[in-house]
Amino acid sequence: MAIDPQFHESRERVGEENGVAVWGPVDEPEQLGIRGTHVAVDYDLCIADGACLEDCPVDVFTWVDSPGHPESEQKAEPTHEAQCIDCMLCVDVCPVDAIDVDAGRTA
Ligand code: F3S
Ligand code: F3S
């Protein structure tokens, strides 16, 4: 399963964390939803591989803790998604297809 690229239409925006949009459903700590808009990470798929943090040339991602989540205890937050230059490296390297980037999708 990969992140749904239509999440901004199929899901409800339920809030914001660290300036990053939260798209539900959220039922903490097991279900955390999708985070971000231009650069979106499905926290329920992310296994904290870290390739996105290592490879993004403009350091869009930062680690946030997710204790009690079944997939991983950390998630890659697209904290600085406004800096994204649409190189698409993160989309290519994520082993679980948890990231979607859409140049035309803005918060
Ligand atoms: Fe970085 Fe991914 Fe954008 S690698 S520049 S967040 S497309
Ligand atoms: Fe998570 Fe994929 Fe990045 S598993 S840490 S979003 S490379």
Residues in the chain: 107
Backbone φ, ψ for residue 98 (5° rounding):
-90, -5
**DSSP code of residue 90:** H
Please tell me if the CB atom of residue 86 comes closer than 6 angstroms to any atom of ligand 1.
yes
Q: Of all protein residues, whose CA lies closest to atom 2 belonging to ligand 1?
A: 90
Backbone φ, ψ for residue 83 (5° rounding):
-85, -10
- State the pLDDT at residue 93: 98
Largest pairwise CA distance in the chain = 34
Cβ-based neighbours of 72, under 8 Å, separated by 6 or more: 46, 47, 48, 66
- State the pLDDT at residue 107: 59
Q: How many CB atoms lie within 10 A of CB 92?
A: 12
Per-residue pLDDT tens listing for the chain (107 residues) = 999 999 999 999 999 999 999 999 999 999 999 999 999 999 999 999 999 999 999 999 999 999 999 999 999 999 999 999 999 999 999 999 999 999 888 75
Distance (Å) from CA 75 to ligand 2 centroid: 7
Q: List helix spans (H) across 3-75.
A: 7-10, 51-55
Residue type (1 letter), 41? V
- State the pLDDT at residue 53: 98
13-99 belongs to CATH 3.30.70.20: yes
Residue extents of the structural domains in the chain: 13-99
20, 37, 39, best to mutate for ligand 1 pocket (most atoms within 8 Å of CB): 39
Which atom of ligand 1 is least distant from the CA of 85?
5
